[in-house]
Amino acid sequence: MVNVEVFLDILCPWCFVGRRRLKSAIEQFEGQVNVNYRAFELDANAPIHKGMKIDELLAKKYRVSIDQAREMNGRLSTIGDQEGIAFDFSEMKSTNSFDALSMMKFLQSKGFADQYLDRVMNGYFESGALISDRNYLIDLATLFVEDDESFSSDDIFGEENFGAEVRNDEAYANELGVTGVPFYLFESKYVISGAQESATFLSALRKVAELKAGTSSN
């Protein structure tokens, strides 16, 4: 078993690409992999969606023109196509990801983080879903949690609930010196930064598995 901690932000397109590539590597890997998702807000102060388009946000953030921002997104769309991702930057809604990450932590506690991330990232990047909408997030959660298990926004959102786990993850990331995502930590020792190719992840999994096997046999 190889343990991998994945630091991500649901609003991060490279995290979406990296997630697809890591998933492909895991499918090819000969052993078992346990993935633990860690929350990381790229912009903890981001406002709830106020109508700004992603092109406008990027242009403002990187101090480039709208056309230059669209070119940047165009290059990312090409990469997304190769991974089976249909990025729709015209419909994406810039917003705050804290509640969406809180829901990730809640559903991870139930064993449904992977299924949730598939849905919420597909929704945000491909369908223009507003992932700061708590009703939308609750509706997603009901797809996975047993019908007889009741829960509400009050059980999940806020600093006193699963928002506290988001803050704990971010404190942990700070201790590790993580400044951007995606960030991958294998067995609490070995690091891969960025959305590397699937072959890179597969090689890392095999190497770490070999190292673990050597350590356990000594």
Tens-digit pLDDT profile for residues 83-104: 999 999 999 999 999 999 999 9
Tokens standing for residue 154: 């009050």
Q: Please determine, for residue 6, whether its predicted confidence score (pLDDT) is greater than 60.
A: yes
User: 216: pLDDT confidence band, cut at 50, 70 and 90?
Assistant: low
Distance CA 177, CA 103 (A): 25
Domains in the chain with CATH codes: 2-217 (3.40.30.10)
Mean confidence (pLDDT) of the chain: 94
Q: Please determine, for residue 147, whether its predicted confidence score (pLDDT) is greater than 70.
A: no
DSSP state of 40: -
pLDDT of amino acid 148 = 59
Q: Please determine, for residue 115, whether its predicted confidence score (pLDDT) is greater than 90.
A: yes
DSSP state of 93: B
Tokens standing for residue 217: 């046999």
Give pLDDT tens digits for 151-179. 889 889 999 999 999 999 999 999 999 99
DSSP state of 146: -
Q: pTM here?
A: 0.94
